[in-house]
């Protein structure tokens, strides 16, 4: 089985977010980047399939040279080969077209992507890839078992869970549940050293149209001042909730 894990290079959630160029561009100064958490769950699941079923695991991302440390981390965790598509990931449609080309040329049986990235939360890429490639697709996937060319997946739906059976080739949009946070892997020194020797291929981007562009960014409004009310003064609390907060 040949697996492609799609990786997004996203800012760490502890990073301080700012914008430049009159609020039209993200300021990367001092920002630490990590593997998108939904992708990391998928990568760990792929590692289990490599260890238990002998799967070959590749990782791919769209981005410039700055994303290579994130790819190298995925290689240090255990992926066999990395692919960097040399383009700025401007929007979901553009990214999906680039990754779909890699899938089409790579002969992959299973493509694991995160259901969404934590920076723009678009949630578009896995589904658009599946449509472009006419492959089976399961989104919000929290469990995946593969036996031969048959796959059994569980996905979250409104009010519950749904169990599906399908066949490879398959694309999933994964999330926590594929593995738990406690199962995520930290690269050890041996993995880091081996990652330096693993193949990381840079491929040119397709000349594909961009589906959208960013016009302006805005930060959420700052929180207002906090009023503290004595625990015994219920009348004042009720008055504030009624007249100022207007929640009762």
Note the Cα 75 to chain centre separation in Å: 16
Q: Report the CATH number at residue 15.
A: 3.40.50.620
Q: Would you say residue 227 lies in a domain?
A: no
Q: Would you say residue 214 lies in a domain?
A: yes
The continuous run of DSSP H or E covering 18 comes out as: none
Q: Would you say residue 238 lies in a domain?
A: no
Count up the domains in the chain and report the number.
Answer: 1
Find the domain containing 86 and state its range.
2-219
Q: What is the mean pLDDT of residues 50-67?
A: 96
Rounded to two decimals, the pTM is 0.86
- Is-cis flag, bond preceding 169, omega within 30? yes
Q: Would you say residue 232 lies in a domain?
A: no
Q: Would you say residue 32 lies in a domain?
A: yes
pLDDT at residue 163 in the model: 97
Quick: pLDDT tens for 117-174.
988 888 999 999 999 999 999 999 999 999 999 999 999 999 999 999 999 999 999 9
- Looking up tokens 């991302």 gives 61
Quick: pLDDT tens for 63-115.
999 999 999 999 999 999 999 999 999 899 999 999 999 999 999 999 999 99
**HSE-CB of 2 using CA atoms within 13 angstroms:** 10
């Amino acid at each position: 089985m040949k697996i492609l894990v799609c990786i997004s290079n996203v800012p760490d959630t502890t990073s301080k977010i700012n914008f430049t160029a009159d609020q039209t561009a993200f300021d990367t100064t001092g920002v630490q980047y990590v593997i998108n958490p939904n992708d990391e769950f998928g990568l760990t699941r792929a590692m289990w399939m490599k260890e238990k079923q002998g799967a070959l695991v590749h990782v791919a991302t769209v981005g410039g040279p700055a994303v290579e440390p994130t790819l190298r981390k995925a290689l240090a965790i255990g992926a066999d080969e990395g692919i960097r598509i040399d383009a700025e990931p401007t929007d979901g449609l553009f990214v999906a077209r680039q990754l779909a080309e890699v899938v089409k040329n790579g002969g992959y049986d299973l493509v694991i992507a995160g259901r969404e990235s934590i920076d723009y939360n678009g949630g578009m890429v896995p589904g658009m890839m599946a449509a472009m490639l006419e492959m089976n697709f399961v989104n919000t996937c929290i469990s995946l078992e593969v036996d031969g060319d048959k796959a059994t997946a569980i996905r979250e739906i409104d009010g519950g869970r749904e169990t599906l059976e399908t066949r490879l080739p398959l694309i999933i949009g994964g999330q926590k549940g594929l593995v738990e946070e406690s199962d995520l892997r930290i690269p050890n020194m041996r993995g880091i050293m081996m990652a330096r020797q693993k193949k990381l291929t840079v491929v040119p981007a397709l000349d594909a149209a961009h589906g959208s562009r960013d016009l302006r960014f805005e930060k959420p409004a700052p929180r207002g001042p906090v009023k503290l009310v004595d625990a015994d003064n219920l009348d004042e609390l009720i008055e504030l909730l009624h007249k100022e907060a207007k929640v009762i």
